[in-house]
Structures are given as structure tokens and as C-alpha cells.
A = this chain, B = another copy of it.
Amino acid sequence: MPVVDFWYEFASTYSYPAAMRIAALADQRGVCLNWRPFLLGPILAKRGMADSPFNIYAAKGRYMWSDLHRICARHGLPLRRPDPFPQNSVLAARAALALDDVSRPEFTRAVYAAEFGGGRPIAERATIAALLEAMGLDAGAVLERATSLAVKDGLRSETALAESLGLFGAPNLVTADGEIFWGNDRLEDGLDWAAGLAR
């Protein structure tokens, strides 16, 4: 079964519809997903951006929210802009990495649904804890692992790897032969490419 790396950033707006849609699209094509949260902030900072490009460039930001509104409406996804935007995504990313490969997709969808579906503050420990508990997990134990040195270093390594692969936005699919597909609007193309590799 072909494997595709799904690289996403919890603060990223277009990662929201991507995360909500991708499991079914991958299943349809017999493609296995590797869910890899990373941080865009350090990568953008090297380009001199201390904030989201959607805040720095007002026209780009206005367009993005209008485009995202259309996309969410088409897929029946609620959309509520979190305040502040972008949310600090470090704790969510660490918690996702602290989970195993079975729980990570469900937790990821829960975080995006809370953040962009409900406008909830995912930077807050209480929000993340509530999402973990709703999954029947021991929130205290997960959050302890999430803030361990191993997981902190793990997220740093993942972010460094993402940058070395040439990722500069989110979400992305990276196939086994190294093709990169950037954006919610390239999910189908990336999964089709990966499925083709298996033939």
C-alpha cells in the first residue's frame, strides 16, 4: 500500500478542510497516510515574516477568508475565525506528536474542528485537555508527554525536516518519490500520484 506523508500546521486555515477530507480520499485510493504536524512559524520567520502572510498582506488575507468560506460551504464544514488569528499551535502540535499513529488523526480533526469550526482557543491547555478527554484519553498523561524534552525535540526535528524538504506553506502531501503537493486544492492530485506509484 503506498504511503504519503501528510504535513500540516494547526494554525493553517487551508489545513482545516484538508485534515477533515483527507482520510476518506486516501481510503478511496488505497493510500496510507502518515500524519505529520509541523510548525510553519520558524520557516516563515527565516523569510522575515513574524506573522501570518494573511495578516501581513491584507489583500491576500481578505481573499483567503473569502476563498475558505466558499470551500467550507462546499464541503459542509462550519467556519468560525479564531481570535487571535493565527492561533499559537505549538501545544497542539506537541500533543499530536505525543499520540500514537491511531489517535493522531482523530485528535488532529478534533483540534481543527474546535479551532476553525468553533473558533475555540487551541493555544490554551484547557481546550486541548478537553479534546483529549472527549476522545477517552488521559489528558494529564498526554500533556505531560507533550511537554517532555523528547516530544519538544521531535517537533523541532520534524519542522527542520519539513524545511529541508522545501515546504513553505501548509498543508502538503509528500509522496514516496519526493513529489510535493501544496494546498488543500492539491489533495486529490497528490493522492492520485501516490496511488499511481503502486501500479
Contacts and interface: CB of A to CB of B under 8 A. Distances in A.
B47 A168 contact: no
Contact of A67 (B57, B59, B182): B182
Interface in A141-192: 166-169, 179-182, 185-186, 189
Contacts of A67: 181-182, 186
A28 interface: no
A63 B189 contact: no
Give chain A's interface residue range (CB within 8 Å of chain B): 20 to 34
Q: Which of A47, A67, A179 is packed against the most chain B CB atoms within 10 Å?
A: A67
Nearest to A167: B59
Interface string A111-147: 0000000000000000000000000000000000000
Contact of A168 (B59, B166, B168, B180): B59
Ordered nearest first, which 7 A-B pairs have the shortest CB separation? A59-B168, A59-B166, A185-B185, A60-B168, A62-B166, A63-B180, A63-B182
